[in-house]
Amino acid sequence: KKQRDKKNLLCQLKQHKLLRTLTGSEEPFVSLGWQKLVPRQPLEEAISGPYRTCAVVSSAGAILNSSLGREIDSHDAVLRFNAAPTEGYENDVGSKTTIRVINSQIMADPQHRFADSHLYKNITLVAWDPGPYSGNLEKWYKSPDHDLFTAYIEHRKRSPSQHFYILHPGFLWNLWDILQSNTEENVHPNPPSSGFIGIILMMSICKNLDVYEFIPSKRHTTLCHYYEQYHDFACTLGAYHPLFYEKLLIRRMSTVSLDELKTKGKVTLPGFSQIKC
Ligand code: NCC
């Protein structure tokens, strides 16, 4: 029964072909000349994938003292989130970064120095901002949660060869719908976390992925991030994002060795290309 549930979930996600980035051909972006701004090649073609092995590294405090760095770096591609650094934490989180999923706060809040920081250079960037559930892109353009558009335009002009995409809000809300349709309780109507978004993104471009410290290991802690001294239980189980339900869903879809889950916080997922439905 468990195996069937797993297969159903994986097939549902695969068949929805969820991954979608702005192409610039949608209104209002097309009128603003975005077709010239957005990379011509779609994300799936632009990267040097499909990658054979991928690692998704959550920013949870619990990854501290894991000594997983070497194992994480052994993957063909490594995905990290937002402002999560590697410098000084290599032994636990590794040093390779291939893709970063960033929320719009990173691009809008001056504190993150998005234009200058080395964290956002020489890698593939995938940004998101929720937009309205209705899917109205005009409304979204006028009032995003955080203004990612200005920074995107500037960045594209400055570094036109960097792979840099904005996720289509439809991707986020379709993903939310799938989460809700597979959850008995009512999921609060907030967008998925960067973590959940990143996992689905990697399932679309990798043959196989290992996800670290998204499902908490035995090191679980109230320490929010491995890179700052801030404690909040909600970082792991969620307040704004439906993190708790995301984690249950990922747990149901993944292959786990209980021992590895405990010691590494590691679960394994097949890429969509490997799933026969
Ligand atoms: O904290 P954040 O997420 O950057 O973490 C990235 C992803 O790692 C997983 N995570 C993190 C901490 C933890 N204890 N357990 C975890 O499982 C989650 O899957 C998470 O998505 C975000 O999702 O974009 C988020 O971003 C931060 C913040 O905007 C950025 O770090 C930039 O500073 C949000 N925090 C605040 O707004 C205060 C957070 O809610 C979600």
pLDDT of residue 50: 85
Q: Is 59 in the pocket of ligand 1 (CB under 6 A)?
A: yes
Domain count, the chain: 1
Burial class (CB in 10 A: 0-12, 13-18, 19+), 179: middle
Q: Are 212 and 92 in contact (CB under 8 A)?
A: no
Packing angle between helix 194-205 and helix 2-15, nearest 10 degrees?
80
What whole-number distance in Å separates Cα of residue 51 and Cα of residue 130?
A: 27
Q: Which atom, in ligand 1's list, is nearest to the CA of 84?
A: 4
Gap from CA of 67 to ligand 1 centroid (Å): 21
ipTM over 0.95: yes
* Strand 223-225 versus strand 228-231 pairing type: antiparallel
Segments in the chain below pLDDT 50: none
Q: In the beta sheet, which residues pair with residue 99?
A: 79, 124
**What is the predicted pLDDT for the residue at 156?**
98
Q: Report the CATH number that the domain containing residue 244 is assigned in CATH.
A: 3.90.1480.20
Which residue owns the Cα nearest ligand 1 atom 19?
195
Percent of the chain exceeding pLDDT 70 equals 100
Domain residues for the domain of 198 are: 2-274
3 CA distance to ligand 1 centroid (A)?
Answer: 30
Ligand 1 contacts CB of residue 104 (under 6 A): no
The pLDDT of residue 249 is: 97
d(C-alpha 22, C-alpha 156), whole Å: 14
Mutate-to-test residue for ligand 1 from 103, 201, 245, highest number of ligand atoms within 8 A of CB: 103
Q: Measured from the CB, is residue 193 less than 6 Å from ligand 1? A: yes
- Classified as helix, coil or strand, 251 is helix
Tell the residue nearest (CA) to atom 22 of ligand 1. Answer: 194
